[in-house]
Amino acid sequence: MRLYSGDLSPYSARVRMQIYAKGITGIEIGMPPVFVPAEFRKLSPLGRAPVLELDEGEGIPESDVICEYLEEIYPEPSLLGATPLETARIRTVSRIADIYLLNNMVMCMPQANRAMRNDAVRDMLAARVNRGVHELEHYIGEDGFAVSGRLTMADCALVPALFLIEAFMPACDVADPIPQAPKVTAYWAAIGKNEHAARTLIELRRGLAERREQAKAMAAKTGA
C-alpha cells in the first residue's frame, strides 16, 4: 500500500501518526503529485491528500475513512476503546478536532497573508476555533492523553489540529486560544513527549518551514 501524504497536511499527519502508533511497516509514504494528473484523479477523484492506494490499485480518500480502514485491517494495538462507550468518547474528541478545529483552521490559514486578508472572514473562523477549544476543554483527558489514558485515534486527530492553531492563529494576528484552556494546555505539553506524536510534529514543522520558505521566495519574486 502507499499513502499519498504532505508534511503540512493535517489530515495526512493524522493518518501518519496512526501508522506510527500501530507499528505498520507495509505502507509506503510519499508525496502526492504537485499537479494532479488524470491518473491520480482516477485513484481519487477528490484530488486531495491523503489517499491510501491499495495493492489492487484502488484508492481510499479522506483521513477519517483511511483511519477506520487501517483500524480494521490492523486491529492491534487498538486505537479505539475497550468498550463501546470508550470508543464513543474517542470519536467525540476526534469529531471536535475534525469539524470544530481542523476544518476552520484550514480555511483560516490563508488569512495569515495580510495582503489578501478579509478581516470579517478571519474573525468568524477564529471565533469558531476559539469555541472549539473551549468545548474541547470539557472532554479532554487529564493524564497526558486525549481519552482513556493511552494513545488513541483522538490523539491522532488532535495533534495536527492543535499544531495548526498554535502555528497559524498568531500569524493571522489572533491570540492563540490554547493557553486560555488549562486542560488543553496541559495535554498539549504532555502529548508532545509521546514518540509517535513527536515524530508527527517534526514532520508538521518541516512542512511549515517549507511553506514559509516558499512564501518568502514568492514575495521576493513579485516584489511584495
Q: In CATH, what is the architecture of 84-222?
A: Up-down Bundle (1.20)
- Is residue 161 within 8 A of residue 102, CB to CB? The reply is yes
* 101 DSSP 8-state letter: I
Helices (H), 144-181: 153-168
Summarize pLDDT for 50-87 with one digit per residue, the tens: 999 998 778 899 999 999 999 999 999 999 999 999 99
Q: What is the pTM of this model?
A: 0.91
- Is residue 61 within 8 A of residue 51, CB to CB? The reply is yes
Per DSSP (E only), the strands in 12-83 are 28-30, 51-53, 59-61
Please state the CATH superfamily assignment of the domain spanning residues 2-73 in this structure: Glutaredoxin (3.40.30.10)
DSSP SS3 for 51 = strand
pLDDT less than 50: residues of the chain: none
DSSP SS3 for 28 = strand
Could you state, in order of their start, the residue ranges of all structural domains in the chain? 2-73, 84-222
| Identical fold, 2-73 and 84-222 | no
Residue 195 grid coordinates = 514518540
